[in-house]
Structure 1
C-alpha cells in the first residue's frame, strides 16, 4: 500500500515552509500567487490531498454548514437550496444536507445529530425547531438561521419573504377583479408561511369589508390540495367560489388541474386562481399562474450574510428578522382588475 503523502513532503518539493502549504489549502488564508502555484503544482505531482477533518480538529472550525430540509416537493426549495449551497461554497464552506420530517421531535433528533458533526452553523429550510434545541445550539456556540420560516425564539435569525404583505396583495388583486366569493387553500398549519400568508390575505379582504367565503387545507401536498379543490368546487354553482388564493404554487397547480380536468370549469372565466412563490412552472403556458414572487436571490443573500456575521463576529452580531417584499406577478389565471385598479404585467 502506498504511503500517504504529507504536507511536509509537498513543502520540500515546492521549496516552501510547511505553514505555507497549510495556508494554500486553508480557505481565506493569505498567500502569494507565486507560492500558491508552486504548492499546488507540487501537490498535484505528488498526489497530495489535505486532511480537512484533521485541520478542523486543530483549528476548532469544520467549515461545514448543516442544512436541514423538510420539504422538497415545492419547486421553490430545490432552486433556492442550490443557490444557497453555491453561495456558501463561494465563502469557503461545505454544505452537509440533512433531511427531516415536519414533526418537531424528528427535527430535534436531526439537529442533535448535526451538532455531533461540529458544524460551524446551521440553516433550517422549510423546518421549525423547538426552543430546547435552539438553546442547545446557542450553548454549543453554533448559530442558526431559519430560511423561509420564522419563529419567536430569542437569538434566532430568520429570513423570509414578507408573507403578510404578499397575502394582502393577493386579496387586493382578487377584489379589484370584482370577485365576491373568495376562497383560500391553506398550507401546513404549523408553518409560519401558512400563518402569515393567510393573515395578510384575510386582512386584505377585511379592509374592503369582505369575509372569506370558504377555506380548505392542502397541507402543502399535492393529494391534499386536490382534495381541497374538490371540497371547494365540486358543489352547486351557488356555493362555488369564484376565486381562490392558494398558499403556494405547488398546491395551486394541483388545484388548477382538478378545476379544469376533473370538474370541467374554466380558468379564469369560471374561477380565478392566485398562488405564491413564482416557481418556474408558474410561467408555463399550461398554468400561466398569477402569483406572488418569493425573491430567492435576495433571501439567499440575506441568509448567508447573517450566518457569516454570526460565525465571524459572534459577540457583536445581533439576531435579525428579515422579511423581503415580493411583487405580484400577473399572468392569465385570474380575472384582470377593472379600471379602478391597474397592475403592470411585471407585477408592480
Structure 2
C-alpha cells in the first residue's frame, strides 16, 4: 500500500475522471454504483484519504456548522443535538459544538467560532448580541436561532433567522385545557423572564385566561432550573389557599414540581392539583410522571433550521422566522374529560 496518493492517482487507477473521485467522497453527490466501487477500491489500494482541509481551500466552504448551546440540563436539548447532528452529517457537514452560560450573550464564544471559518451557526438556548450578528453578517456566516427569537429588530437586517414552536398558541392551549377540566386556581411557573420562549408561553396563557375572565392565581420563576423550580413550587403552595393547577414553562421544571407536590406536600395529582408542562421530553412519558404537556416537534424544528441555514448560505435569501405548530399530549397529570 502506497502512502501520499492524491485524487489524480486514484482517478488513473480507477479509470475515471478526477471529478468522479471528488463526487465519490462527497456525501449526497451523484455517482453511479459502478464508479463508486472502482474509486473506493483504487483508494484502498493506494491508501488514499480525501483531505477535507484542502477541499475547503478550493471550495471556500469548511462544511462545518457551529452549534452553540447554553442549557444542556434541559432534556429537550440533547434531543436537538442528536437530531440536528444526524441531519447535517447526512448532508456532508460536521458539527462543532460550543457550550456557553445559559442566556448570557455569547460574543466571546462566537468570536472564537468565526476563527474556524464555519459555514453557519445555530444558536440554541443562547443569546446573540446585535454587534455579533453584524459581525457574522459581514463575514458571510448565517445565524439561525433555535427555539429562541431575537428580541430586537436590529437582528433582521444582519441575516439572523429563527425557528420556534408556536409558544404563544401552546400557552393558550394549556389555559383552555385546565379551565375545561374544572381547574380554577391556576398558577404559572415561569422560566427565565427575558427569554422569548417563556414570554410567548406566558403571553398566550394570560390571553386565554383573560378571555375566560379568570385571573391567574399566582406566578413564580424557576429560571429553567431543577432545584429553583422545586423552591418556586414550595413557595406557590405555601399559602393557606393553594393553586389547584400549575402550568410549568418546560418539562424539566414540571418534573421538579411533581416531585415536590407528591413527595413533599402529599398532594394527589391530578385530583387535587393538575400539572401541565411544555416540550414533551422523553422523561415526560415515564411511568413515574406521565406528564401532560405541550409537544414541540424536534424533527420539524430541526428540518426548518437546516432549511434556513441552506437558504441563508445563498446571498439572495432574506432572513425569516419559522413557527412550527404545537399540540398537547394528555397523560395522567390532568383530570380526564
State the TM-score bracket (shorter-chain normalisation): over 0.9
SS of 1:185's equivalent in the other structure is strand
Give how far 1:103 is off.
4.4
Q: Deviations over 1:274-324 (max 9, x none)?
A: 10011112112211111111011111111111111222x321x22221111
* Cα distance change on mapping 1:42 and 1:283 into 2, 3 Å: same
- In 2, Cα distance between equivalents of 1:314 and 1:147: 21
* Cα distance change on mapping 1:44 and 1:190 into 2, 3 Å: farther
Q: Deviations over 1:208-255 (max 9, x none)?
A: 11121111111111011011111111332x2x1111100000100000
Q: Does residue 1:333 correspond to 2:330, yes or no?
A: no
Please say which of residues 213-222 and 70-79 is displaced more in the overlay. 70-79
- In 2, Cα distance between equivalents of 1:73 and 1:233: 25
Maintained 8 Å contact 1:166/1:200 = yes
Q: Deviations over 1:244-270 (max 9, x none)?
A: 100000100000001110111111121
- In 1, Cα distance between equivalents of 2:27 and 2:330: 44
1:78 is aligned to: 78
Give how far 1:29 is off.
4.3
1:185 is aligned to: 189
Q: Does residue 1:217 correspond to 2:221, yes or no?
A: yes
Maintained 8 Å contact 2:167/2:200 = yes
Maintained 8 Å contact 2:3/2:47 = no
Q: 5+ residue gaps in structure 2?
A: none
Q: Deviations over 1:92-123 (max 9, x none)?
A: 21111111112434x11111111111111111
1:199 is aligned to: 203
Q: Aligned-residue CA RMSD in angstroms?
A: 1.6
Runs of 4+ in structure 1 off by over 6 angstroms are none
1:121 is aligned to: 120
Give how far 1:17 is off.
3.9
2:266 equivalent among 257, 264, 267 = 264
Give how far 1:332 is off.
1.3
- In 1, Cα distance between equivalents of 2:118 and 2:222: 35
Maintained 8 Å contact 1:104/1:130 = no
Q: 5+ residue gaps in structure 1?
A: 338-348
Please say which of residues 22-31 and 42-51 is displaced more in the overlay. 22-31
2:161 is aligned to: 157
- In 1, Cα distance between equivalents of 2:186 and 2:227: 22
Maintained 8 Å contact 1:234/1:263 = no
- In 2, Cα distance between equivalents of 1:283 and 1:50: 44
1:275 is aligned to: 277
2:304 is aligned to: 302
2:43 is aligned to: 43
SS of 2:318's equivalent in the other structure is coil
